[in-house]
């Protein structure tokens, strides 16, 4: 096991549910409550000075429903270390913002809020970043249809369901021939 | 022998070459159609082809439309080049509203015309949902030649308009409104 995973396990004990090492990629699965503490430790003690990305997963049907993913990178000390920290979030829970650790977290967290509807404690600015202000849905959730839902924001904007016209036109991973893999009109209902 | 008093002014050697006879509409439309200043609404890859149309190889200047205006107040034709997301559509509409009349719109490419391959919650399914479109150019993205043909189509449309009539009608409508008030 890598030095970093060992150090983290030693430091946080039960707050770390699992560690995964896969082809040199280190992943820490943490509890939601301790996540901020672990991230702060990674920045201050382990030289992870660069927050590459924050993303989120919707595991619809599972409990808790959402999962947060933080990608860290050690840029300053030249070690090129990469670390991923994950934790689960229930639908009615809020996540502690890391904008106090990395300023860049602001846009990432706004995107997570906009697309997935996860709210953050300590994020001052819950404005939409990709959809417009007043849009009522969080479109990357699994139970949101690709075609969208009709919305109406009087005097500002309205949307209608997009005509899928036999789509969605997506590639299908398969070992069959190219014509099976190519994006074609397929029925997904 | 023609009578001196009925002789045509155009044959007067003193003014010959300086006076032409035409209709007001024809003159206005000739001026408008050969000097269509575009508002380049480049939103995606079509914007790159639009730039190519403006550069030396395709040279949109041959049609008098090389003056890309980045202020809507100086533009005549909005070229919507690319995917219009719902978020951007608010800005596109606002810019269109700021363009002075007379104004025209070219929907360049599949996305601007119909949403193209972006059948999703995020994409406006054709800019004609928001603003009136005069010419649709097919392609994904269209070649610069296709855009130039679209521009020529628009020029033809402009030359067939009843420009003075529209002006006077608007004028009389305004007079009517003020007299009512």
Residue pLDDT, tens place only, B25-42 = 899 999 999 999 999 999
Sheet of A82-89, strand order: A16-22, A25-30, A82-89, A66-73, A50-58
Q: Does B122 reside within a domain?
A: yes
The two structure tokens encoding residue A146 = 């690709």
Q: Does B63 reside within a domain?
A: yes
In this complex, is the C-beta atom of B89 within 8 Å of any C-beta atom belonging to chain A? yes
pLDDT confidence band for B6 (50 / 70 / 90):
low
pLDDT confidence band for B136 (50 / 70 / 90):
very high
Q: Return the CATH number at B71.
A: 3.40.50.12280
Mean of the per-residue pLDDT values of chain A: 86
Chain B CB contacts of A139 below 8 Å = 121-122
Of A147, A61, A100, which is closest to residue A139 (Cα–Cα)?
A: A147
Task: Quickly list H helices, chain A.
Answer: 3-12, 35-44, 105-116, 178-181
Q: Which residue of B has its CA nearest to A164?
A: B119
Mean of the per-residue pLDDT values of chain B: 86
Q: Which domain holds residue B167?
A: 23-180
In this complex, is the C-beta atom of A64 within 8 Å of any C-beta atom belonging to chain B? no
pLDDT confidence band for A189 (50 / 70 / 90):
very low
pLDDT confidence band for B17 (50 / 70 / 90):
low
Is a pLDDT exceeding 60 seen at residue A187?
no
B86, B117, B119 ranked by CB distance to A159: nearest: B86
Q: Using an 8 Å Cβ cutoff, are B90 and A157 in contact? A: yes
What was the pLDDT predicted at A151? 83
Q: Which residue of B has its CA nearest to A156?
A: B90
In this complex, is the C-beta atom of B83 within 8 Å of any C-beta atom belonging to chain A? no
Chain A CB contacts of B87 below 8 Å = 130-132
Q: Which residue has the higher pLDDT, A75 or B3?
A: A75
Query: Which domains are present in chain A?
Result: 3-133 (3.30.460.80), 145-189 (no CATH)
Q: Does B2 reside within a domain?
A: no
Cα distance between residue A147 and residue B122, in whole Å: 9
Cα distance between residue A86 and residue A166, in whole Å: 37
Chain A CB contacts of B118 below 8 Å = 162
* pLDDT average, residue stretch A42-51: 90
What was the pLDDT predicted at B7? 56
Q: Does B121 reside within a domain?
A: yes
C-alpha dihedral, B168 to B171 to B173 to B179, nearest 10°: -140
How far does A133 lie from chain B, in Å, by closest CA? 9
Helices B144-159 and B24-33 pack at an angle, to 10 degrees, of 160
Q: Which residue of B has its CA nearest to A132?
A: B87
What was the pLDDT predicted at B9? 54
In this complex, is the C-beta atom of B91 within 8 Å of any C-beta atom belonging to chain A? no
Chain A CB contacts of B130 below 8 Å = none
What was the pLDDT predicted at B149? 95
Residue pLDDT, tens place only, B150-180 = 999 999 999 998 887 777 776 666 666 666 6
Residue pLDDT, tens place only, B62-73 = 999 989 989 999
Is a pLDDT exceeding 80 seen at residue B54?
yes
Optimal mutation site among A136, A139, A157, interface B, most CBs of chain B within 10 A = A157
CB atoms within 10 A of CB B27: 13
The two structure tokens encoding residue B87 = 């978020």
* pLDDT average, residue stretch A7-33: 89
Q: Could B120 and A145 be called an inter-chain contact, meaning their C-beta atoms sit closer than 8 Å?
A: no
Q: Using an 8 Å Cβ cutoff, are B112 and B81 in contact? A: yes
Chain A CB contacts of B113 below 8 Å = none
What was the pLDDT predicted at A30? 93
Of A63, A77, A70, A137, which is closest to residue A104 (Cα–Cα)?
A: A70
Q: Could B86 and A131 be called an inter-chain contact, meaning their C-beta atoms sit closer than 8 Å?
A: yes
Of A43, A120, A121, A50, which is closest to residue A129 (Cα–Cα)?
A: A120
The two structure tokens encoding residue B172 = 């009389």
ipTM value of the model? 0.74
Q: Please give the tally of structural domains in chain B.
A: 1
Residue pLDDT, tens place only, A23-36 = 888 999 999 999 99
How far does B117 lie from chain A, in Å, by closest CA? 8
Residue pLDDT, tens place only, A54-71 = 999 999 888 899 999 999
Q: Does B141 reside within a domain?
A: yes
The three-state secondary structure class of B65 is coil
Is a pLDDT exceeding 90 seen at residue B120?
no
The sign of the torsion formed by the CA atoms of A123, A124, A130, A134 equals: positive
Residue pLDDT, tens place only, A132-147 = 888 889 999 988 888 8
How far does B157 lie from chain A, in Å, by closest CA? 31
Residue pLDDT, tens place only, B84-117 = 998 898 899 999 999 998 899 999 999 999 988 8
Please give, one letter per residue, the 3-state secondary structure of A9-55: HHHHHHHEEEEEEECCEEEEEECCCCHHHHHHHHHHCCCCCEEEEEE
The three-state secondary structure class of B145 is helix
Cα distance between residue B3 and residue A174, in whole Å: 92
A157, A162, A165 ranked by CB distance to B121: nearest: A162
Beta strands in chain B (DSSP E): 38-42, 77-81, 104-108, 135-137
A148, A156, A165 ranked by CB distance to B121: nearest: A148
Q: Does B49 reside within a domain?
A: yes
Is a pLDDT exceeding 70 seen at residue A165?
no
Q: Could B90 and A157 be called an inter-chain contact, meaning their C-beta atoms sit closer than 8 Å?
A: yes
What was the pLDDT predicted at A167? 61
């Amino acid at each position: 096991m890598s030095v970093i995973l060992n150090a983290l396990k030693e430091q946080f004990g039960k707050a770390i549910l699992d560690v995964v090492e896969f082809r040199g990629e280190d992943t820490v699965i943490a509890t939601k409550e301790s996540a901020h503490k672990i991230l702060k430790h990674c920045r201050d003690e382990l030289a992870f000075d660069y927050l590459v990305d924050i993303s989120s997963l919707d595991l619809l049907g599972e409990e808790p429903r959402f999962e947060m993913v933080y990608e860290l990178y050690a840029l300053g000390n030249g070690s090129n270390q990469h670390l991923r920290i994950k934790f689960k979030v229930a639908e009615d829970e809020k996540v502690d913002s890391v904008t106090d650790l990395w300023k860049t977290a602001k846009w990432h967290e706004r995107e997570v809020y906009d697309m997935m509807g996860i709210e953050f404690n300590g994020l001052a600015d819950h404005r939409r970043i990709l959809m417009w202000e007043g849009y009522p849905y969080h479109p990357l959730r699994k139970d949101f249809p690709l075609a969208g839902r009709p919305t109406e924001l009087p005097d500002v904007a309205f949307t209608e369901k997009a005509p899928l016209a036999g789509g969605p036109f997506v590639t299908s991973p398969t070992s069959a021939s190219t014509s099976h893999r190519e994006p074609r009109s397929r029925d997904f209902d | 022998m023609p009578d001196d008093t009925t002789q045509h002014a155009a044959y007067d050697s003193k003014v010959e070459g300086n006076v032409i006879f035409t209709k007001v509409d024809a003159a206005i439309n000739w001026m408008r159609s050969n000097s269509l200043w575009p508002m380049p609404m480049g939103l995606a890859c079509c914007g790159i082809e639009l730039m190519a149309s403006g550069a030396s190889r395709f040279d949109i200047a041959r049609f008098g439309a090389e003056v890309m205006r980045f202020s809507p107040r100086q533009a005549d034709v909005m070229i919507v080049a690319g995917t219009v997301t719902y978020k951007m559509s608010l800005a596109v509409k606002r810019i269109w509203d700021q363009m002075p009349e007379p104004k025209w719109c070219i929907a360049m490419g599949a996305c601007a015309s119909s949403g193209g391959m972006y059948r999703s919650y995020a994409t406006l399914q054709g800019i004609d949902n928001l603003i009136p479109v005069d010419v649709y150019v097919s392609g994904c993205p269209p070649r610069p030649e296709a855009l130039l043909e679209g521009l020529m189509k628009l020029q033809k449309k402009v030359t067939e308009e009843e420009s003075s009539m529209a002006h006077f009608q608007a004028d009389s409508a305004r007079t009517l409104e003020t007299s009512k008030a």
